[in-house]
Structure 1
Amino acid sequence: HNLPDFVYFNHSQHVTVAGVACQTCHGEIQTMEVVEQFAPLTMGWCINCHRETNVNLEGNEYYAKIHEELSKKYGVEKLTIAEMGGLECGKCHY
């Protein structure tokens, strides 16, 4: 996966903090005889994921307090990544 130079992708933020499974972006790599690109990793693909995916709070103190405050603000029990600021341009672009 080659991203443009003006795009910043923090692999650790997605895998370690958010708990995103490798297969989400890389596909069923454990069954591939020849590794190939699975997801387009376009801006639209990333934005759709951030709009549709709820923040994983399980064992994640990093998000616990802010999730509580934003849940009250938005009147929801679960928050998407977008509602937690995941669509701010500066998160991915320099």
Structure 2
Amino acid sequence: MTRWQVYWSIWACGSFLTFLGPEIYALCTNVENTLSFTVWDLEGGQPGDPITKWTSTHVLFGGVLTVVLLWLIGHLVFGVWRNWK
């Protein structure tokens, strides 16, 4: 393995575990400690609010998250941009 492969492997496992562990614990103990509850609370919204009540921060966060997730799916799942040089 190259150094980059080691780095990205550690990063991916670490990111997954540092998210999944606390999220599962929060779901089992107090849902107000979950990531989604925290995001909604910081943005001043409530799940189930109509789109007309969303803040610009919420819309921007959703848009950025959508772009990042689509890029990751294309890149990691389908191998798009793999041979891009």
Which one has more relative contact order, counting CA pairs under 8 Å at least 6 apart? Answer: 1
Which entry has the higher C-alpha Rg, 1 or 2? 2
Q: Structure 1 or 2: larger helix share?
A: 2
Please indicate the TM-score interval, normalised by the length of the shorter structure.
Answer: under 0.3
TM-score between both structures, scaled by the size of structure 1 = 0.23
TM-score between both structures, scaled by the size of structure 2 = 0.25
